[in-house]
Structure 1
Amino acid sequence: MIIVPEREIAGLLGRADAYMAVEAVFAAMASGDARNFPVIREAIGHADALYGFKSGFDRAGLALGLKSGGYWPGNAAKGLTNHQSSVFLFDADTGKCRAVVGGNLLTALRTAAAAAVSINHLARVDARVLGIVGAGHQSVFQLRAALEQRDFTRVVAWNRDPAKLARLSDVAAEHGLPFAAVSLAELGAAADVIITIVSAHEPLLMDAHIRPGTHISCMGTDTKGKQEIDAAIFARASVFTDEIAQSTSIGEAQHAVAAGIISADRITALGAVINGTHQGRTSADEITIFDGTGVGLQDLAVASAVVDLAVTQGVATIVDF
């Protein structure tokens, strides 16, 4: 069995690798070559933690396995990341455990890659202002990956605690881009592309905030009851997602579906755009939404890439199991 510890991930997998792995698995999902299995996510009754499993199988890449982990809100005070996870890969021919991979950085990279894939395939080619809602740990990964998808000239951002926006300002400065902390209304008025990456249970961006032509990547809603944007926005948007079943049940679209604003048949798998079976954006005025719910196949794709790189570079540990 191959072991790739968390400490090795940063030196192995870059943003380009994560992007290619996620884009390929979205395409495989849309073509029917890859399938996610039902998600298990539960409050364990200890440390206020949420714990669960995401799993699936990609026949195209022969990636079979699961990510096990969750959210421990008290970890920051212990010097640890609140999100903790590990990825287990199995041999598709025998069922034998092939590898165990640290999943914390991988989760951040694959989540940012998913938003980046959506921006590349759905945002206007002339998008110049990038907006970020939220300034938590994941926001920096989102910003770095998004900036590679268009020739952005400015970054605007909002966070409940404005002091945390400094981390985003620093990244913008690294790219030589002006940065502004703004209100949500100002962000919606200025941004051509918006990434929401917050853990919220009521909408922050409202329908009146969103201009025609905007692309929105909703990346923070992955549980029933969470919500980042006004459900009314869905009525005038073309909606895309990683997986439709999750989008309607635990993703951002859950509220629009429950309210009867849209139905599941109004939601398109992003992989269909990647494969060329759906045209994606059809006009400069079209509002597009990507509902990034996070699927197990994303984790398996990036973990498989890491294992191959670790073996090639000689940093994997191999044990009898």
Structure 2
Amino acid sequence: MLIVPERLIADLVTAEAAYEAVEAVFAAMARGDARNFPVVREALGHADALYGFKSGFDRAGLALGLKSGGYWPGNMAKGLTNHQSTVVLFDPDTGQPSALVGGNLLTALRTAAASAVAIKRLARKDAKVLGMIGAGHQATFQLRAAAKAHPFERMVGWNLHPEMLPKLAAVADEIGLPFEAVTLVQLGQQADVIITITSSFAPILKRAQVRPGTHLSCMGTDTVGKQEVESGLVAAAKLFTDEVAQSITLGECQHAITEDLINEAVITPIGAVINGDHQGRSSDDEITLFDGTGVGLQDLVVAAMAVERAKAAGVALEFEI
């Protein structure tokens, strides 16, 4: 069995490589060549933590396994990342464990890659302003990936705790995007693309704040009860997701489903757009929304990539169990 520790991931998997892997597995899912298994996601009742498992099998790429981990909100005070994850891969021919891979950076990369895939496929071609709601650890990855996916000219940002915004502004400056901290109303008035990346359990962005033609990548809602945008905004948008089953149960669409504002038939897997089976955006006036729930297959394909690159570089650790 091989181990690829967290400290090696940054040298093995780039944002560009993660994008390619995630786009490919979304396409495989839409073709029926890859399948996610039901998610386990629970509050521990300890350390205010959420913990769970995501798993699946990519028959096209032969990636089988699971990611175990969750969210510990007190970790930052301990000098640790709030999100903690580990990926376990198995040989699909024998069922034997084949690799143990540090999953923290991989989770950030694959989440940002999913949002970037949606932006590239669904945002208006003339979109100029990127809006970001959230300024935590994941927001900087979202910013970098979005800037690679589309040629934005500037960005605006809002966070519940505005003292966190300078970190986001520094990354924007690094990649050459003028940054401005704004109110939510101003963000909706100015942004052509909006990424929401928070851990909110109450809607932050309202329908009245979003202009026609806006694309939203809603990336923070991955648990029952979480919500970043109001249900009326979801109902007003043309809806896309990584996986419909997760979208309606634990993603941003769960609330609009519960309130009978939409049904699952109006939600399209982004893989169908990638494969050319769905046109995606059909007009410049449509609001498009990508519900990025985060599927296990994303984790497996980027982890498998890390393992192959670690083997090629001779840096993977080997042990018997």
Unaligned runs of 5+ in 2: none
The residue aligned with 1:30 is 30
* 1:177 CA displacement: 1.9
* 1:175 CA displacement: 2.0
Inter-partner Cα distance in structure 2 for 1:134 and 1:126:
24
The residue aligned with 1:163 is 163
The residue aligned with 1:313 is 313
Normalised by the size of structure 1, how large is the TM-score? 0.99
Q: Secondary structure at the match of 1:65?
A: strand
Inter-partner Cα distance in structure 2 for 1:45 and 1:212:
42
Inter-partner Cα distance in structure 1 for 2:312 and 2:187:
44
Task: Describe how 1:199-278 pairs up with structure 2 within 5 A.
Answer: 199-278=199-278
Whether 2:187 is the aligned partner of 1:187: answer: yes
Q: Secondary structure at the match of 2:48?
A: coil
One-letter code aligned to 2:40: I
The residue aligned with 1:68 is 68
* 1:313 CA displacement: 1.1
1:84-116 CA deviation, whole Å, 9 max, x = no partner?
110000000000111000001100000000000
Q: Identity over the aligned pairs, expressed in percent?
A: 66
Inter-partner Cα distance in structure 2 for 1:74 and 1:286:
40
Whether 2:12 is the aligned partner of 1:21: answer: no
Q: Secondary structure at the match of 1:10?
A: helix
Q: Secondary structure at the match of 2:284?
A: coil
Q: Secondary structure at the match of 1:11?
A: helix
Inter-partner Cα distance in structure 1 for 2:116 and 2:265:
24
Normalised by the size of structure 2, how large is the TM-score? 0.99
Task: Describe how 1:60-209 pairs up with structure 2 within 5 A.
Answer: 60-209=60-209
Whether 2:57 is the aligned partner of 1:57: answer: yes
Inter-partner Cα distance in structure 1 for 2:215 and 2:20:
21
Inter-partner Cα distance in structure 1 for 2:76 and 2:286:
40
1:106-158 CA deviation, whole Å, 9 max, x = no partner?
00000000000000111111111000000011000000000111111111000
Q: Secondary structure at the match of 1:76?
A: helix
Inter-partner Cα distance in structure 2 for 1:126 and 1:72:
39
Cα RMSD between the aligned structures?
A: 0.8
The residue aligned with 1:299 is 299
Inter-partner Cα distance in structure 1 for 2:48 and 2:160:
22
Aligned length: 321
Q: Secondary structure at the match of 2:303?
A: helix
